[in-house]
Amino acid sequence: MTLSKCILKQLQAIDGTAQYSGALPKIKSSTGKVYFVKTGSSKDREQFAGEAASLKAIDAAAPGIAPRLISCGDLDDGNPYFISEYMDVAPLSSKAAEILGKRLATELHMGKSLKGFGFDIPTYCGITRLQNGWYDTWENCFAAMLQDLLWQLRSKGKYEGLCRKADRVLQSAVPKLLGPLVIQPVLLHGDLWSGNASVNSANGQPFIYDPASYYGHNEADIARMFGGFPESFFTSYHEHHAKSEPVEQYAQRGELYQLFHYLNHTLIFGGHYAASAEQKMDVLLAEP
């Protein structure tokens, strides 16, 4: 398949001596390297930039745990492009999940921010824009993220009851569960679940992808949802990274962090995710 001149120009800027073949998103070079390449329209520019910034931060904290960003910007036609290394995926085994848990605990979640909680630019959790910005406390950061999500839900015009209940969570559960935390802001994947983690079939090592990074509470990255990871992941993780104090609120904090993603899935997909979000809120609001 013939590549567009715009894409070919960017690839030749990486290695001008190679020949390139394939179809997006998998492009092979004659030197044996394989690239993940995607292009978009102007509306995708911010999303591509957020993913690129996320991958750069992840690579700095934990090299090789995510595809390495190679290039991101605008093509000659004005549309955005994104190039990273390509990794062939294989299912995440129990052993690979154990390795991943250790790497998150000892590398990724050791990446600290000097600016506070948040991120420099917007990122996208799925197709949902996370406004980000910087906050002095995790409570304020998470509350702002949740408020922004509720604003987007309200704009749909059909989730007012759900949002009113979430307002109660903001007023009670968020300060109760996040206020007592004494934590440092650490780098998060931001949308970590079993669908965004695999094994690199080339070397057998686990890796994560499609990030929506920000600096926050490490437990927000490992809240179990959507099938989650093998138990070996959590065992390994907590062998190297203790649960935050107060430990007795660990499970409740997990419910709160899961709620954010169920609300986001309600925004994107609707359907039964709204009922699941309601159930999460009932649990959070019932706690004394």
Task: Tell me which residues are annotated as active site.
Answer: 191
Is-contact 212 131, C-beta < 8 A? no
Q: Residue 172: what residue type?
A: S
Which residues, 6+ apart, have CB-to-CB distance to 65 below 8 Å?
58, 59, 100, 103, 104, 107, 108, 206, 207, 208
E-strand spans in the chain?
20-23, 26-29, 34-39, 69-74, 80-85, 89-90, 117-119, 123-125, 128-130, 133-135, 186-188, 197-200, 206-208, 214-216
Say if CB 22 and CB 28 are below 8 A apart.
yes
Q: 117-119 and 133-135 as β-strands: parallel, antiparallel, unpaired? A: antiparallel
